[in-house]
Amino acid sequence: MKNQLPPGLSALLEVVVMFLPAIPAYIWLWPNVHGTSAWIAESCANLYAIAGSLVIGLRRWDLDQLGVNRRGLWLSLACGAAILVGRTLVILSVDWGLPPPQFSLLRLVGDFIFYFALVGVGQELLFRGLIYRALEDWRGTRWAIWISSLGFGLWHIGGGPLMIAATALYGVIFAVIRWRAGGILGLVLVHGLMDYAGGLLLPSTDVVGLGRAEVPHPVWLFLGLAMILLTPIYLWKIYPGLGQFLRHRMV
């Protein structure tokens, strides 16, 4: 009988094959689409990620094992609220020297559906669902956290080095929440809300083209960064001991 690859490794190899269309997409497609065409292309990319994640993942695990459950929902939402407030403070602390974005009702509704139903579901199911599960089964939790976060950063390679670094950092934070919470439904909501709020607050989602930034409110910047960075530290070091202390006090 032939030796079979571990389920996690075989799933990751299939994910690599699934990502092969991204190579010509980044070379030709993304630099040449704008406006409505870009919105359609991004929607198709997220639908492709959802379909691929389900096809690959459900051949080895059930939805609960992929994180599609309500486990740790309130923990995810509480930590997500702290990150969202911190990120909002960071954005508001910076003056990009550009006029605020203009939105119509149709655009607001369309962006809401796009960020929650496509971006939030697609990227969380792929990175904190399938890829996290595969890495955890194959190499353990640390690999699941760090490699899934690196992949999440590379998913945003079109935004340049700053975007890659920022999204990789958020990937680490989200992966730690996934680890402690045990599910991704809260992360889907948090991810969608963060992207939707970013679209409302930033003059452009094109980070490279935002121009030279000034920081008229450095205190807001410091507080925002502190809230973002302290969230994973709390989950990593404080949360387990705090839970044991509260359970002991209740007994």
Q: What is the pLDDT of residues 8-20, one digit of tens each?
A: 999 999 999 999 8
Least confident interval from 71-75, 88-92, 127-131, 158-162: 158-162
Query: Which two structure tokens, joined as six digits, stand for 250?
Result: 């209740």
Q: What pLDDT is recorded for position 209?
A: 59
Residue 2 lies in a domain: no
The token duo for 36 is 């409505």
Which tokens belong to 27? Answer: 């070379």
> Is residue 101 in a domain?
yes
**Is position 169 within any domain?**
yes
DSSP assignment of 118-181 equals IIIHHHIIIIIIIIHHHHHHHH-HHHHHHHHHHHHHHHTGGG-HHHHHHHHHHHHHHHHHHHHH
pLDDT of amino acid 168: 95
Q: What percent of the chain has pLDDT over 90?
A: 63
Please report where in the chains the tokens 């094959």 appear, as a residue: 17
| Position 1 in a domain | no
- Residue 89: name the closest of 232, 231, 218 by CA: 218
Within a domain: 201 = yes
Length of the chain (residues): 251
pLDDT at 157: 85
Tell me the residue type at 126.
L
pLDDT at res. 22: 83
The residue to which tokens 């040449």 are assigned: 32
Domain of 228, in residue numbers: 7-250
Task: Kindly report, residue by residue over 226-248, the tens digit of the pLDDT.
Answer: 999 999 999 988 887 765 544 54
153 sits in the region (left: phi over 0; alpha: psi -120 to 50; else beta) called alpha
Contact between 248 and 106 (Cβ < 8 Å): no
Q: Is the pLDDT of residue 112 over 60?
A: yes
Total tally of structural domains belonging to the chain: 1
What are the tens digits of pLDDT across the range 61-76? 999 999 999 999 999 9
User: Burial level of 201, CB count in 10 A (0-12/13-18/19+)?
Assistant: middle
Could you read off the pLDDT of 162-199 as tens digits, one per residue?
A: 889 999 999 999 999 999 999 999 999 999 999 999 88
Specify if 153 maps to a domain. yes
d(CA 244, CA 76): 19
Q: Percent of the chain scored above 70 by pLDDT?
A: 90
Nearest to 45 by CA among 21, 63, 68, 66: 21
Amino acid at site 161: P
